[in-house]
Amino acid sequence: MKRIAVMTSGGDCPGMNAAIRSVVRTALNYEMEVYGIEQGYSGLMEDQFIKLESRSVANMIQRGGTFLRSARAPEFKEEEGQLKAMENLKNQGIEGLIVIGGDGSLAGAKVIHDKYHFPVIGIPGSIDNDIYGTDMSIGVDTALNTILWCIDTINDTASSHDRTFIIEVMGRNCGYLALMSAISGGAEAALIPEVPFKIENIIKKIKERYEEGKTRSVIILAEGVGSAGDFGKTFDMIGGFETRITVLGHIQRGGSPTHFDRILATRMGASAVDSLLNGESGVMTALQERKIELVPLGEVLNNKRKMDKKLLEIAEVLSK
């Protein structure tokens, strides 16, 4: 294998640039040519290839986002779009592809492998940490540290004014960010999609805290549960609290990646190149018990990552 390509797709996350850098310099070490595909699957269909050299990824490891950029590409779900993409890979002389992204991106990689028998390796990049088969995806640690900084900052003003704050974090189908940040940030509750709850019980818990003399309460809400604004109105009406709402939004997806994310992305990028050279395809790099392993894309996409019940128990105990 002499020429490979790398692309980022779907939502961006801190560490993508570190992964691209690792792919490029590992491949160059094997005397391979590397091309970057701009704008994800959209760029793949529109033939947006750029040759990458060592200098192309200089000073990239600390940058958030993705310098290759990313875009949604629903056209790739249709055979016409897929055929255009495969023709471009052929015309560019690409012999292997590395796709960095979340479930949707990995699903596209599976199509390339299964339907067109083209060598492809996936790298999980999603701040939600909702990808099955890996203990951690690229970008999760940075997002959590960003959320934690916000919680700590809000805690200061919450304590000063005896207020209840509801902080909305990302996580449409997965409450990992909400749960983990609630534990590390000392929040009173984490409302996540995986666990049913009654708003009356949360309000009762907050009231008991104030009766005990505690001066502030913080609730972390995963966006998949509902609007923080709606929950705030309910707290005001039923609980009688002076509630403030903070929606963190896309601040969670940006920023310079942490040490953990830089190392994880670097290890996964190097593993992806090695895997292609070893004849692997249709698999995703995964962190499992500190080791980088390979998981079939079919297994990744056909299973749902489960929330650790022990973490739920810990969160409940520590919030009392």
Counting the structural domains of the chain, the total is 2
Residues 6+ apart with CB under 8 A from 214: none
**CATH assignment of the domain containing 50:** 3.40.50.450
Asked if the structure places residue 318 within a domain, the reply is: no
Question: 201 falls in which pLDDT band (50, 70, 90)?
Answer: confident
**Residues 86, 232: one domain?**
no
Asked if the structure places residue 319 within a domain, the reply is: no
- Give the model's pLDDT for residue 212: 79
- pTM for this predicted structure: 0.94
For 163-186, how does the pLDDT look when each residue is reduced to its tens digit (9 = 90+)? 789 999 999 999 999 999 999 999
**Residues 227, 154: one domain?**
yes
For 6-54, how does the pLDDT look when each residue is reduced to its tens digit (9 = 90+)? 999 988 999 999 999 999 999 999 999 999 999 999 999 999 999 999 9
Residue 296 amino acid letter: P
**Residues 156, 221: one domain?**
yes
Contact 151, 38 (CB under 8 A): no
Asked if the structure places residue 284 within a domain, the reply is: yes
Question: 1 falls in which pLDDT band (50, 70, 90)?
Answer: very high
DSSP state at residue 311: H
Asked if the structure places residue 164 within a domain, the reply is: yes
Which one is catalytic: 128, 130, 141, 261?
128
**Residues 135, 269: one domain?**
yes
Residue numbering of the annotated binding site for ADP: 21-25, 186-188, 214-216
**Residues 116, 34: one domain?**
yes
Asked if the structure places residue 311 within a domain, the reply is: no
Token readout for 29 is 């070490």
**Boundary-marking domain end, from 231, 253, 275:** 253
**Residues 76, 22: one domain?**
yes
**Boundary-marking domain end, from 253, 278, 311:** 253
Domain hosting 14: range is 3-139+257-301
Report the distance separating Cα 27 and Cα 157, nearest Å: 50
> Does the annotation mark 308 as catalytic?
no
Residue numbering of the annotated binding site for ATP: 11, 72-73, 102-105
Task: Give the closest residue to 247 by CA, choosing from 232, 237, 258.
Answer: 232
**Residues 176, 229: one domain?**
yes
**Residues 119, 264: one domain?**
yes
Asked if the structure places residue 313 within a domain, the reply is: no
> Residue 213: is its pLDDT beyond 80?
no
Residues 243, 247, 103, 140, CA torsion sign: negative
Q: Can you spell out the DSSP letters for 192-203?
A: -TTS---HHHHH
Helix (H) or strand (E) holding 151: helix 140-161
Asked if the structure places residue 231 within a domain, the reply is: yes
Report the distance separating Cα 310 and Cα 142, nearest Å: 23
For 283-319, how does the pLDDT look when each residue is reduced to its tens digit (9 = 90+)? 999 999 999 999 999 999 999 998 888 988 888 887 7
**Residues 149, 290: one domain?**
no
Task: Give the closest residue to 308 by CA, choosing from 143, 195, 196.
Answer: 195
Token readout for 187 is 């929040």
For 251-266, how does the pLDDT look when each residue is reduced to its tens digit (9 = 90+)? 999 999 999 999 999 9
**CATH assignment of the domain containing 244:** 3.40.50.460
**Boundary-marking domain end, from 224, 253, 282:** 253
Residue numbering of the annotated binding site for Mg(2+): 103
**Residues 249, 261: one domain?**
no
**Residues 108, 148: one domain?**
no
Asked if the structure places residue 276 within a domain, the reply is: yes
**Residues 249, 277: one domain?**
no
